[in-house]
């Protein structure tokens, strides 16, 4: 795929409880073969849609033909509202999914992907529009409706960091190993921030998307 993609555009996302959220959409050069909403880490700890790994994916996905939308949760930077400890943020994720779904061809498979706090929100957000989910280093401390993931037959990818300081893989695996249609990858040598390992995360995300929703040119 060509790297010559259009510049990202600002997107207004409105939640069902009346909040306007700050978001950006990055499109590939042609029609996307897949689409992804990207959710960021814990807001009180400084997480935003500009956090490193979210930014890496936001730049990399359009270059391989995948449309991406990143959004600031309620109360973060230019978004209305206040932090809601993982509850209202599920409404934010739903609104972002709706916004991206309306911006791409209707048959485009759309996944909800999150990192850290955002991973917990991605696992807790019900939506009939989703083709799958991606959870990167989920702490499982903010997953307010984990039954959404445990009962979801759609493909899921969980990426864990070998040396995660907040939730080591050994404490996560007993829970997620029981989930249906779930692929688990442990990134060797990685910490929770995936510094120096973001390329590996990007490769795993791209491989997951291609395996389940292969583009026509493959």
pLDDT bucket at 216, cuts 50 / 70 / 90: confident
Determine contact, residues 23/15, Cβ cutoff 8 Å: no
Query: Is residue 158 in a domain?
Result: yes
**CATH assignment at residue 105:** 3.40.50.1820
Query: Is residue 108 in a domain?
Result: yes
Q: Is the per-residue pLDDT at 2 higher than 70?
A: no
Look at residue 3 in the predicted model and tell me its pLDDT: 53
Domain that includes residue 111, residue range: 9-212
pLDDT in tens, 50-86: 999 999 999 999 999 999 999 999 999 999 999 999 9
Query: Is residue 187 in a domain?
Result: yes
Between CA 63 and CA 3 the distance in angstroms is: 5
Query: Is residue 86 in a domain?
Result: yes
pLDDT in tens, 33-43: 999 999 999 99
Q: Which of 160-164, 173-177, 213-217 has the lowest mean pLDDT?
A: 213-217
Query: Is residue 51 in a domain?
Result: yes
4 vs 94, higher pLDDT: 94
Query: Is residue 201 in a domain?
Result: yes
What's the domain count of the chain? 1
Query: Is residue 4 in a domain?
Result: no
């Amino acid at each position: 795929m060509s790297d010559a993609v259009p510049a990202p555009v600002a997107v207004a996302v409105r939640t069902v409880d009346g909040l306007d959220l700050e978001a950006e959409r990055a499109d590939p050069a042609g029609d996307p073969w897949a689409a992804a909403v990207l959710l960021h880490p814990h807001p009180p700890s400084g997480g935003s849609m500009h956090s490193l790994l979210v930014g890496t994916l936001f730049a990399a996905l359009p270059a391989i033909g995948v449309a991406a939308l990143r959004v600031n949760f309620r109360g973060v930077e230019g978004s209305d509202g206040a932090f809601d400890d993982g509850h209202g943020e599920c409404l934010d994720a739903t609104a972002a999914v709706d916004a991206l779904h309306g911006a791409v061809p209707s048959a485009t498979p759309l996944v909800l992907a999150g990192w850290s706090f955002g991973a917990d929100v991605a696992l807790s957000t019900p939506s009939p529009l989703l083709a799958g989910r991606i959870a990167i280093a989920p702490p499982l401390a903010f997953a307010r409706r984990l039954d959404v993931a445990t009962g979801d037959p759609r493909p899921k990818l969980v990426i864990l960091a070998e040396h995660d300081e907040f939730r080591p893989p050994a404490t996560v695996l007993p829970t997620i190993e029981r989930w249906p249609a779930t692929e688990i990858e442990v990134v060797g040598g990685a910490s929770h921030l995936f510094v120096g390992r973001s390329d590996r995360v990007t490769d795993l995300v791209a491989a997951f998307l291609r395996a389940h929703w292969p583009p026509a040119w493959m």
